[in-house]
Structure 1
């Protein structure tokens, strides 16, 4: 749920103020206004298993806790490239030293990774409500790719570094320096440890630079650090990290509270879970803790992006400009990789992602039998609602009867397994709640701890 402006002000007054941080935090002394980050914005592109939800424009989502995300603009792109391949991947947002933003992205439309491309897409933005000065900048003249940019301020040079994945006969990180993101210095090798590497994310904490990347030799994510941020100055300091079968695109972000860090990892394929996450209280230690998927909800269909801290005013401005979703998703409490969906008109719980991805999107409308309750109308089959029939949940078109209206109405209550989540009590069988059993939805009496978990959902 979103916080009000008053709540943001209260949090700031309680001391929830930190230095401005992005997917590549800057060195220096940001102004007091930029230190008041109380929310986050996530930039990404989208893909789904059968490409139904694939879109290679710039997407944005917002969060007040940095864990649970709500897409903006109905998960449609807020801007799309008009040159090059006409598509982007791997968007990266940097808050510059003057407090404005620059967006960098891979110039690649789709999944043909055999293409050579020496350019990056670039936009300027004062507040992420509009994007200006679109251009492409050429990073090198090699017959290779220019993937997954990250950028950060290097105070000792008075320049920004742009680091990206490329190949000079081996998979390495290259760097170019710039002051304006229009002209860049000649490219040079930034990191080449003797094995292939991919997808760097680099942040600075005090005087130490931290780089997380994928080791192509073993498929694991490693953290390296440097006291200067200079090319070829990094030393690994963590053991290999991975969740799931494969992972790439590490994304490092400091909590706005200033008390810790989070590391995100993108699954290798859109047919798997889209993101994994860890947390640590000390970035300098090799001490990452896996986060349960129950604790976070990535943006819908999101792939390989970046996160930047924003102020309460910026959050409010983004929501006012682009709007929050007109739909919700229902995430299972005890199977947090699964969402409520319909398939062949049956209500069920399936692992995300899947296609058609719209099967999991619901308009949560005033209850058809009682406006104090709720009903769930399908987004891709408007006029059809989740209702119970012989206690099993189906997706059916309303027949206008009182019985249908009652069958399709639920009372939203505090989650039976966790009060910060939600449960839904049947309107006309109030001794029964919506729950899953063998991944099928039904209404049942709830008595055991397992029942309570089966009947608890996150509305997001």
Structure 2
């Protein structure tokens, strides 16, 4: 199937309690599928990866962590932490939820790659105590229809005393609807029912349950090409009515709702397929309003090549343990301040800023090592050409092999200072031309004076992942 008919599934948000003992303390803080509790102070993201030429494509479960839900640190060097061993042998659209006993459940679409004709009636499921180990892998059978089971997510239905598994499938009328099965253990499931069918193609359902007594469902709408919200005072199948304005940036799918743990804001993430694999974020002070404002791209950075994310809150201890178990990247990416959709990369051994995504994606990965001429400074070592460093030559930045000489060392050394356009970002002053800074001009990198506000913006970058 194509994006026009499919629009691959989304992952969801569940703001849940960390332990069953916390539930009684948190019953008035119902934000999403489960009550958030005071110990939650960070977030985990799950996703799979795809890149334009497939060099960064992997259909396993990837994880990243964040303290603000906007800027993300990929774990395990942005490699998968677990991969399905049955079905299609790969996954798409992972979903992470904390269950009522405080442990996690991981769901995912049984599909590897883009064989849209592969109709699996099962989904991938793992149990996890801490997202550091994954156990009891299984593939519950959801239906017997000649259709798929895309973008599974789950939520707790207190009226039924069971979890609901929500997913996309084609109904008897020939268009995608959202189906639901109920379960106590994510192994044995009830017969499928149609959960939401507005009469046209919808996929990628994402729930926020019990927000001021109202339940919200966001989905990808084939009518608008964007993300639309529906709501209901109950969780009954067939009870949701669309109400919100549609948001999109190009073709947008995979809505993911995230409640800020430190403010009243909600964030809505969307994954675009034009261009491929770029996330955009919107924010709102109220789900009830149904209107969203784009978040400045300077404020958020998602993991490279990430697709169809799920975001769930975790405690500070869980955040620390995830970093300890899987490790933060040994490399960084540099994002342009005034062109935040562009990253510093090398191409044909010249340095420039290019619009993400691109392949080879490793062209934008750098090891920031102690300066070759001054350890108090920094040098930029290429990840995919580790004998080469960024250096200036006739003031132009290029990627050259370290010849071990003093001139090369000085040309390849910079001093990191507070961002010239924004002190929370970074700028880099040339070691041997101290009146000049690393900046872009016509997207190419060079060292140059920065007398104007535009020059200083050109010389400002974020150092992240």
Shift of 1:26: 2.5
Q: Distance in 1 between matches of 2:285 and 2:47?
A: 26
2:268 to 260, 263, 266: 263
**TM-score normalized by structure 2?**
0.92
Name 1:253's counterpart in structure 2: 258
Q: Is the 8 A contact 1:208 1:229 kept in 2?
A: no
User: Partners of 1:258 and 1:436 in 2: how far apart?
Assistant: 36
1:226 aligns with 2:232: yes
CA contact (8 A) 1:369 1:405 kept: yes
TM-score for both structures, normalised by structure 1: 0.93
CA contact (8 A) 1:172 1:192 kept: yes
Select which of 422, 425, 428 maps to 1:424: 428
Secondary structure of 1:284 counterpart:
helix
Task: Tell me by how many angstroms 1:21 deviates.
Answer: 9.4
**Which residue pairs with 1:81 in the alignment?**
84
Kindly indicate whether residue 153 of structure 2 is the aligned counterpart of residue 150 of structure 1: yes
Per-residue deviation at 1:19? 8.0
Structure 1 position 217, deviation (Å): 2.4
1:161 aligned to which of 161, 164, 177: 164
Deviation at 1:272, TM superposition (A): 3.6
Q: Aligned match of 1:200 in 205, 209, 212?
A: 205
- Residue 32 of structure 2 corresponds to residue 25 of structure 1: yes
Point out the more displaced range, 84-93 or 216-225: 216-225
Match of 1:316 in 2: 320
Of 320, 326, 329, which aligns to 2:330? 326
- Offset at 1:49? 0.4
- In structure 2, the residue matched to 1:216 is 222
Q: 1:357 aligns with which of 337, 357, 361?
A: 361
Greater mean deviation of Cα atoms: 366-375 or 210-219: 210-219
Contact 2:47 2:93 in 1 (8 A): yes
What does residue 130 of structure 1 align with? 133
1:179 pairs with one of 175, 181, 184: 184
Map of 1:41 onto structure 2: 44
Give 5+ residue unaligned stretches, structure 1.
1-16
- Spell out, residue by residue over 1:101-154, the C-alpha distance to the aligned partner (whole angstroms, 9 max, x if none): 000000000011111110100000111111111111111000001001111111
Aligned to 2:77, the other structure's residue is in SS state helix
SS in 1 for 2:358: coil
- CA RMSD, aligned part only? 1.6
Question: What SS class does the counterpart of residue 422 from structure 2 fall into?
Answer: coil
1:283 corresponds, among 280, 287, 301, to 287
Deviation of 1:20 after TM superposition, in Å, equals 11
Q: Hey, which bits of structure 1, 4+ residues long, moved more than 2 A? A: 17-22, 24-27
Q: Which residue of 2 aligns with 1:304?
A: 308
2:345 aligned residue: 341
Residue 105 of structure 1 contacts residue 120 of structure 1 at CA under 8 Å; is this kept in 2? Answer: yes
Q: CA deviation at 1:187?
A: 0.3
User: For the Cα contact (< 8 Å) 1:20–1:36, is it kept in 2?
Assistant: no
Residue 453 of structure 1, aligned match among 444, 447, 457: 457
| Structure 1 position 256, deviation (Å) | 1.1
Q: 1:64 aligns with which of 64, 67, 79?
A: 67
SS at match of 1:102: strand
Matched residues in 2 for 1:323 and 1:19: separation?
34
SS in 1 for 2:325: helix
Structure 2: distance between partners of 1:78 and 1:209 = 32
Please list every run of 5 or more consecutive structure 2 residues that lacks an aligned counterpart in the other structure: 1-24
Whole-Å separation in 2 of the counterparts to 1:309 and 1:19:
16
* Residues 151 and 160 in structure 1, CA contact (< 8 A), matched pair in contact too: yes
- CA-to-aligned-CA distance 1:244-274 (integer Å, 9 cap, x gap): x2111111111111411100000125x4451
